Amino acid sequence: MADHGIARDQLRAFIERIERLEEEKKAIADDIKEVYAEAKGSGFDTKVMRQIVRIRKQDRNERAEQEAILDLYMHALGMADAGSQSEYDEAAE
C-alpha cells in the first residue's frame, strides 16, 4: 500500500509540474496576443503580420529540412559528416 502512496505522490508531482508549465505557456500565448493587439492599435494589419511570421518560420523550417536531408544522404552513403556533430555523437550507432 505504501507503494501506492509513493506512486500517488510522484504522479501528483508530475501533474503539478505540467500544470505549472501550462500556465506559463498560456501566459506567453497571452503576451503574443497583446503584441498583436498593440500592433493593430498602431495601424498594422494583423493578418499580414501573422502571414509574415508564418512565412519566416517556414523559411527556417525549410533550411532545417535541407540540412536534415543532407545528413540523411551522408548517412545513406556511409559518410558520417565530420563537424556539426553538435549536441550528440552518432559515432556509436
Partner DNA sequence: TCCCTGATAGCGTCGC
Partner DNA sequence: GCGACGCTATCAGGGA
Neighbours of 39 (CB within 10 A): 13
Which residue has 498593440 as its cell numbers? 38
Residue in 8, 17, 20, 50 binding DNA, rule: CB under 7 A = 50
In order of 24, 41, 88, 90, 91, the CA distances from 85 in angstroms are 32, 46, 6, 8, 9
Question: 21 is in the binding site of which of DNA, a second copy, none (Cβ under 5 to 8 A by kind)?
Answer: a second copy
Instruction: Choose among DNA, a second copy, none what residue 24 binds, the Cβ cut-off being 5 to 8 Å by kind.
Output: a second copy
d(CA 40, CA 35): 8
Contact residues for a second copy (CB under 8 A)? 7, 10-11, 14-15, 17-19, 21-22, 24-25, 28-29, 31-32, 35-36, 38-39, 42-45, 47-49, 51-59, 61-62, 65-66, 68-69, 72-73, 76
